[in-house]
Structure 1
């Protein structure tokens, strides 16, 4: 069966969709890992979670290489403020 191609769903959109899907999957596995009743089951979900995070990171890196996911460096003063805020709470 040949599905019609959408002119607006190219490589970038597919990568965006894959990244969003991976984020959704890791949220689910994280919840499942938090709610496990046995150490063996928790360990298995933690392994799955780690694997899914690795896949998500690989997609993210590939998108960055292609210029499709731009990040900006954090301002050092804001980093220092955040550190002080959390150190003060402890």
Structure 2
């Protein structure tokens, strides 16, 4: 397994954990449990962002810029719905 594959697996694992923490936060029955899940979720999201940033810097997670016309169309569509 090379570094890129390792980072991809790590990112998928952290994303899966974030999903579980999100549902734990939403479904919490007490403030104490909610706070614990919420902290774990935020820590997991920070970790996910750090992994993504490293992958992006190495060119392992390419992204493309959104077309400005599409952004403007979406903005106009949703602003007219308010």
TM-score by length of 1: 0.83
CA–CA separation in structure 1 for the residues paired with 2:61 and 2:78: 29
Q: In the alignment, does 2:4 pair up with 1:12?
A: yes
Partner of 1:79: 71
Higher helix share: 2
TM-score by length of 2: 0.91
CA–CA separation in structure 2 for the residues paired with 1:31 and 1:81: 33
- Aligned counterpart in structure 2 of residue 39 of structure 1, from 15, 31, 37: 31
Unaligned runs of 5+ in 2: none
Q: In the TM superposition, what is the alpha-carbon distance from 1:83 to its structure 2 partner? A: 2.0
Q: How many residues align?
A: 82
- Runs of 4 or more above 6 Å deviation: none
Root-mean-square deviation (Å): 1.1
The structure with the larger Rg is 1
CA–CA separation in structure 1 for the residues paired with 2:34 and 2:21: 10
Deviations, residues 34-60 of structure 1 (Å, cap 9, x unaligned):
100112211111111000000000000
